[in-house]
């Protein structure tokens, strides 16, 4: 049965000012990038127009020139990129946005979906940085929005620091929103794709084949950082460190993972050890209605002390070669730990800390990775008959921590709860996906000479031999 796709709603405003024409430096402007085959700085940031080559008739607006213009002006400017383009950053060196990575020092919106999201998400504009540097570096306490982009091949080196291959949020007072962005094939020290020391919200985004030599193959959250990951996916993790996690949360940090998938399967060229979340004494770490599965190490690994609050609700932690849940408690005042109504296949090392309603020693029976053309996000839904279906908290429960209640929708916007096991009692599923209501199926018998059992009961396919076509 195909997964129903529930697109997220968004209000997208068409731009009304092209390339800042008619805008003074005191006004917020819109810059339309129209030059993609070269990486050049702006010729004169004292002028209101974005132009990397004053010797050519008309404005030659590169992405670098547009960011330099936005940095030079007050107000939150908007930079528009068209679909179906690739921008390659080739200028090396350090300094401001004119060299190396794209330093952002003023409020700005950078969008590839100004006129609406495409039916095929692969058409979103690509920004890559193969010249041994990262892509975006947010060094000031400013508000930044990145929408509808694909960021790949960032690899910071040298004096600019090695953290954050595609995006580094360096300022603790920066506020960054990432909406529908794919981070792929980035390579860095801490945070192969993203390193965050500020406030970062990530929505409807995808991380794939990012590689770290230290902490966080996808995301690193520093001590001053607060990161939320919603309705997103992390897959094909590459981590050369000992723990091999997709997300790392440092001491004192805040992390929320909600309606998201972190997946360690399948093996691929260049694969390393894989893990889910690793945290060292976080101030707050919450996992809600998410799926963490198929790792060579651990799905969830944390060290906690009296200043830590760790919450895991209505989630799937399963199929890890080491263990699915491990929380080490430092001697002294106890941390706040709430682990309730999850499917955690190997709960042994978290049993002393676990609360009510958890399902253990059961395989969640997840389907392979899949996605929808219009979305960047990948998912793994439980098969019919999975113990994760209707395995979350009962809708009749109330009170206590509000985070323990199910989210009102799933990874793709489908409403929760649904009656996935068709027993007449709607109850939310454990994990990122809410399985749609069970419907009747028709099976045609085509083998008459042998009496054999089904190869995989519960997958909605009648087949005694999955190898034979």
Say yes or no to pLDDT of 454 above 50. yes
211 lies in a domain?
Answer: yes
Say yes or no to pLDDT of 54 above 50. yes
468 compared with 385, residue with greater pLDDT: 385
pLDDT digits (tens, 9 = 90+) for 352-387: 999 999 999 999 999 999 999 999 999 999 999 999
360 lies in a domain?
Answer: no
pLDDT digits (tens, 9 = 90+) for 410-423: 999 999 999 998 88
Residue 16 Cα distances to 58, 78, 80, 81, 454, angstroms: 19, 11, 11, 14, 60
Among 99, 193, 208, 206, which Cα is nearest to 155's?
193
pLDDT digits (tens, 9 = 90+) for 157-212: 875 678 999 999 999 999 999 999 999 999 999 999 999 999 999 999 999 999 98
Give the number of other CB atoms < 10 A from CB of residue 26.
10
Cβ contact 329:416 at 8 Å: no
* Phi and psi, residue 448, nearest 5°: -120, -15
Cβ contact 460:383 at 8 Å: yes
Q: How far apart are CA 377 and CA 203, in angstroms?
A: 10
State the total domains in the chain: 1
We report the CATH number of the domain holding residue 40 as 2.160.20
444 lies in a domain?
Answer: no
46 lies in a domain?
Answer: yes
282 lies in a domain?
Answer: yes
366 lies in a domain?
Answer: no
Q: Quick one: average pLDDT of 428-450?
A: 76
Q: Hey, which residues does 254 pair with through a beta bridge?
A: 226, 284
Among 45, 48, 22, 18, which Cα is nearest to 32's?
18
Its domain, for residue 204, covers 30-353
415 lies in a domain?
Answer: no
Coil/strand/helix, residue 121: helix
Q: 53 is written with which tokens? A: 């080559």
Q: How far apart are CA 76 and CA 11, in angstroms?
A: 18
């Amino acid at each position: 049965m195909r997964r129903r796709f529930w697109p997220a709603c968004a209000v997208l405003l068409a731009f009304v000012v092209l390339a800042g024409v008619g805008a003074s430096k005191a006004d917020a402007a819109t810059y339309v990038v129209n030059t993609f085959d070269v990486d050049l700085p702006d010729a004169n940031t004292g002028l209101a127009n974005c132009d990397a080559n004053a010797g050519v008739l008309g404005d030659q607006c590169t992405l670098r020139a547009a960011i330099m213009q936005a940095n030079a002006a007050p107000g939150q400017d908007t930079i528009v990129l068209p679909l179906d383009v690739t921008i390659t950053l080739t200028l090396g060196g350090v300094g401001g946005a004119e060299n190396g990575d794209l330093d952002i020092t003023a409020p700005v919106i950078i969008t590839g979906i100004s006129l609406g999201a495409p039916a095929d998400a692969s058409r979103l504009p690509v920004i890559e940085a193969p010249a041994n540097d990262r892509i975006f570096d947010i060094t000031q306490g400013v508000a930044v929005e990145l929408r509808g982009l694909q960021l790949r091949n960032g690899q910071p080196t040298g004096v600019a620091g090695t953290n954050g291959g595609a995006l580094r949020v360096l300022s603790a007072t920066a506020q960054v929103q990432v909406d529908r962005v794919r981070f792929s094939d980035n390579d860095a020290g801490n945070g192969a794709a993203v390193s965050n020391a500020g406030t970062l919200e990530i929505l409807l985004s995808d991380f794939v084949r990012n590689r770290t030599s230290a902490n966080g193959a996808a995301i690193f959250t520093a001590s001053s950082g607060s990161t939320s990951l919603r309705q997103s996916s992390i897959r094909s993790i590459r981590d050369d460190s000992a723990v091999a996690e997709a997300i790392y949360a440092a001491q004192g940090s805040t992390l929320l993972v909600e309606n998201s998938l972190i997946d360690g399967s399948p093996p691929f060229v260049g694969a390393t050890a894989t893990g889910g979340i690793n945290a060292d004494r976080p101030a707050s770490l919450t996992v809600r209605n998410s799926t963490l599965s198929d790792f060579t190490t651990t799905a969830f690994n944390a060290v906690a002390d009296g200043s830590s609050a760790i919450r895991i609700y209505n989630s799937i932690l399963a199929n890890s070669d080491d263990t699915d849940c491990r929380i080490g408690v430092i001697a002294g005042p106890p941390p706040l730990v709430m682990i309730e109504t999850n499917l955690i296949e190997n709960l042994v090392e978290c049993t002393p800390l676990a609360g009510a309603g958890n399902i253990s020693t059961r395989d969640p029976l997840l389907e392979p990775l899949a996605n929808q053309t219009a979305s960047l996000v990948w998912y793994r839904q439980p098969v019919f008959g999975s113990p994760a279906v209707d395995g979350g908290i009962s809708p009749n429960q109330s009170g206590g921590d509000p985070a323990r209640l199910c989210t009102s929708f799933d990874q793709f916007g489908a409403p929760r709860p649904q009656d996935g096991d068709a027993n007449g009692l709607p109850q939310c599923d454990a994990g990122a996906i809410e399985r749609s209501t069970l419907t009747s199926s028709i099976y045609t018998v085509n083998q008459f000479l042998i009496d054999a059992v089904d190869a995989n009961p519960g997958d909605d396919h009648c087949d005694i031999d999955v190898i034979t076509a």
